[in-house]
C-alpha cells in the first residue's frame, strides 16, 4: 500500500511542487520515498511506499526503458502473470511491475487481466495512462493545471496548489491522454427471485468455496496479515477462514483486533469469536476523551464531513492504530453487506427481490467514496494496509449471480418454511454455519459505530468539544465536522464537493 503523485506537462519548479504534494501523503508509505523523471517525456512521479510484496527490490517509480509507473495496492495474480509474461522480463519481485509488463505487451484489454485492488499511473514519452480497480478500493484523483494533468492518491495533495477540475477517476475506469476515459469493468447485474427447484445446499457450498478462495488470495504477502474482528458476522467469517488458512500452512495463530468502549457488545462478541477460533487477540478500549482528541485527525484524513461517515470512521481509526502495532496489513469484512443484503434498510425489500438485487448492485457501485474511502483513509493514516476479500472480483461475480431472494429471506433460521421474520445475509450464514457458534452465525447486525459503543461515547465527546451540557443535535454535529474540515484545508469546498452520500440514488423498495 502506498501513496503517489504524478505531474504531466506541468512545470514543478525544479521539483518543489511535486515534493510538497508528496509530503502530504507520507502516512501512506513510510518505508521509502522516491521522486523520478522520465527522459524525453514531460512527466515527474513521486512515490511513498509501504512495503508488503517485494520488500527488498520493489521501490517505485518503476522504470522500463522509456516508460515509468507508480502504483498503489496489490496485484494478487502477479505470480501467474509473471509466469505467463516470462519471469526473465521482470526486473524486481514487486507485484506492481506486472502492470507495466502487461501494458508493454500491447493487448487491447490488457488491464482486464489484473486481479486485485489498485490505482496506478503509467507514462511513456507520448502519453499518460491512469486506472483504478473495479470497485475503487484504492483511491485515485485527477486534476488539471493549464494543459497539464496531475494525479494523486488523496485530495489533500492538491489542496492550495492552484489545480482545477479536481475529481476522482471512477472505479473500473482507465484514462488515456490520447483517448480519454473508458470504462473497463462494470458490476454484474444482480439476480432477483430464485428459480424453482434450486438446490440451496449446492449453491451455499459453492459460495463457501468462493469465499475461502478469496480470503486465501487476499492473504498473499511477504509480511504477516492480521484481521479486524468486530464480533459481527462479516469480520468473524473472514477471521475464521484466515485462521484455517494459517493453520493449514503451518503458521502461528491469526492476529485479530477489536475496539470499543468498556463493555461494548462488539468487544464481548469479538472475544468469544477469538476464543472459539484460537486467534491471538488484541483489544483497545477507548473513551469519549479519546474520540474528542482524535476527531480533527479523523476528519482531516477522511477527507469528508459526512455525519455517518465520520461516525463510522472513529472506531476504524482506533482499530487501525491497534493493528499497526502488530502487523502491516489486515483483512476486513467490507463488502459483505452490499453483496448479501446486510443493512437494516434492506428489510424493506423483503417482498421485492428484483428491487433488492438492483439496490445491492447500486450500492456496490457507490462504495468507493463511502465505506471504502473510510477504510482506506483511516488505515492508511496509520500506515496500515486494509484488504477486503469480500470484494474479490470472482466472488463479486458469483455473489451477484445468486438470487437476492436467498440473501434476505423471510424465514426463521431454524425453519425451512418461508415464513417469519426476515433474516439478512441468510445464504451467507447458511454457507458458513459450521465456522462459528450458532448464536453468533445468526446474530443480528449492528452498525460498527453502534456495536462498538461509539454512538454514546461520541455524544459525550461532542459535549466536551462544544462545551455544551445538552446533547449536540445532528445539525450542530454536522456543522462541527464541516468547521473542522474547513480549518484544515486551504480549499475546503473542493474537498467537500467530492464527498459521497449514503442515500444517493437509492432504489425504491
**What residue segments make up the domains of the chain, in order of their start?**
2-183, 200-497
Fold classification of 2-183 is 3.60.20
Question: Distance between CA 123 and CA 130 in Å, rounded?
Answer: 9
- Yes or no: is domain 200-497 CATH 3.40.50.620? yes
pLDDT value at position 508?
A: 81
* Backbone Cα Rg of the chain: 23
Distance, in Å, from the CA atom of 174 to the CA atom of 189, rounded to the nearest integer, reads 21
The separation between CA 337 and the C-alpha centre of its own chain, rounded to angstroms, equals: 14
* Mean pLDDT split into 10-residue runs, the chain, 509 residues: 93 89 96 90 94 76 91 94 88 89 90 97 96 98 96 98 97 96 97 92 97 96 95 96 95 96 92 97 97 98 96 96 98 97 93 96 96 98 98 98 93 52 92 93 68 88 93 95 97 94 79
Q: Is 2 a catalytic site residue?
A: yes
Rounded to two decimals, the pTM is: 0.94
DSSP letters along 134-154, please? Answer: TT--S--EEEEETTEEEEESS
**Interatomic CA distance for residues 21 and 158, integer angstroms:** 7
Cβ-based burial of 97 (10 A; exposed 0-12, middle 13-18, buried ≥19): buried
How far is residue 500's CA from residue 489's CA, in Å, rounded to a whole number? 18
- 340-367 per-position pLDDT tens digit: 999 999 999 999 999 999 999 999 999 9
Point out which residues pair with 260 in neighbouring strands.
Answer: 285
Q: Are residues 379 and 386 in contact, defined by beta-carbon separation less than 8 angstroms?
A: yes
Q: Do 345 and 505 form a contact (C-beta atoms < 8 A)?
A: no
* Residues in the chain, overall count: 509
Amino acid at each position: 500500500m502506498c501513496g503517489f503523485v504524478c505531474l504531466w506537462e506541468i512545470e514543478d519548479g525544479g521539483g518543489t511542487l511535486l515534493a510538497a504534494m508528496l509530503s502530504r501523503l507520507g502516512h501512506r508509505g513510510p518505508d521509502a520515498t522516491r521522486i523520478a523523471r522520465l527522459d524525453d517525456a514531460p512527466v515527474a512521479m513521486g512515490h511513498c511506499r509501504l512495503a508488503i510484496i517485494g520488500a527488498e527490490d520493489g521501490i517505485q517509480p518503476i522504470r522500463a526503458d522509456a516508460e515509468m509507473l507508480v502504483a498503489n495496492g496489490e496485484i494478487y495474480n502477479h505470480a501467474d502473470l509473471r509466469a505467463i509474461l516470462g519471469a526473465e522480463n521482470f526486473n524486481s519481485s514487486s507485484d506492481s511491475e506486472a502492470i507495466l509488463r502487461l501494458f508493454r505487451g500491447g493487448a487491447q484489454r490488457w488491464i482486464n487481466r489484473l486481479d486485485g485492488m489498485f490505482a496506478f499511473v503509467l507514462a511513456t514519452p507520448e502519453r499518460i495512462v491512469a486506472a483504478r480497480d473495479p470497485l475503487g478500493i484504492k483511491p485515485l484523483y485527477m486534476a488539471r493545471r493549464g494543459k497539464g494533468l496531475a494525479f494523486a492518491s488523496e485530495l489533500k495533495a492538491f489542496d492550495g496548489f492552484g489545480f482545477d477540475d479536481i475529481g476522482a477517476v471512477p472505479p473500473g475506469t482507465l484514462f488515456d491522454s490520447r483517448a480519454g476515459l473508458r470504462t473497463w469493468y462494470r458490476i454484474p447485474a444482480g439476480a432477483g427471485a430464485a428459480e424453482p427447484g434450486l438446490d440451496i445446499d449446492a449453491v451455499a457450498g459453492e459460495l463457501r468455496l468462493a469465499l475461502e478462495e478469496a480470503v486465501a488470495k487476499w492473504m498473499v504477502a511477504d509480511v504477516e496479515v492480521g484481521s479486524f474482528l468486530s464480533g459481527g458476522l462479516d469480520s468473524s467469517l473472514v477471521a475464521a477462514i484466515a485462521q484455517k488458512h494459517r493453520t493449514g500452512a503451518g503458521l502461528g495463530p491469526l492476529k485479530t483486533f477489536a475496539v470499543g468502549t468498556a463493555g461494548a457488545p462488539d468487544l464481548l462478541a469479538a472475544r468469544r469469536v477469538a476464543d472459539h477460533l484460537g486467534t491471538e487477540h488484541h483489544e483497545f478500549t477507548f473513551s469519549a476523551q479519546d474520540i474528542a482528541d482524535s476527531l480533527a485527525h479523523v476528519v482531516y484524513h477522511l477527507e469528508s464531513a459526512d455525519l455517518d461517515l465520520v461516525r463510522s470512521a472513529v472506531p476504524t481509526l482506533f482499530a487501525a492504530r491497534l493493528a499497526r502495532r502488530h502487523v502491516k496489513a489486515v483483512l476486513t469484512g467490507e463488502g459483505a453487506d452490499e453483496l448479501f443484503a446486510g443493512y437494516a434498510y434492506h428489510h424493506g425489500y423483503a417482498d421485492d427481490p428484483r428491487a433488492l438485487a438492483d439496490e445491492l448492485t447500486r450500492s456496490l457501485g457507490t462504495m468507493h467514496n463511502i465505506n471504502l474511502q473510510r477504510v482506506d483513509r483511516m488505515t492508511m493514516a496509520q500506515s496500515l494496509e486494509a484488504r477486503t476479500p469480500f470484494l474479490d472480483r470472482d466472488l463479486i461475480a458469483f455473489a451477484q449471480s445468486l438470487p437476492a431472494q436467498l440473501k434476505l429471506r423471510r424465514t426463521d433460521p431454524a425453519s425451512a418454511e418461508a415464513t417469519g421474520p426476515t433474516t439478512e445475509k441468510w445464504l451467507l450464514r447458511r454457507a458458513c454455519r459450521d465456522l462459528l457458534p450458532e448464536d453468533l452465525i445468526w446474530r443480528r447486525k449492528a452498525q460498527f459505530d453502534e456495536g462498538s459503543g461509539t454512538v454514546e461515547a461520541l455524544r459525550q465527546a461532542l459535549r466536551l468539544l462544544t462545551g455544551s451540557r445538552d446533547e449536540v443535535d445532528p445539525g450542530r454535529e454536522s456543522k462541527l465536522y464541516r468547521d473542522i474540515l474547513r480549518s484544515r484545508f486551504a480549499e475546503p469546498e473542493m474537498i467537500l464537493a467530492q464527498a459521497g452520500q449514503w442515500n444517493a440514488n437509492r432504489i425504491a423498495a
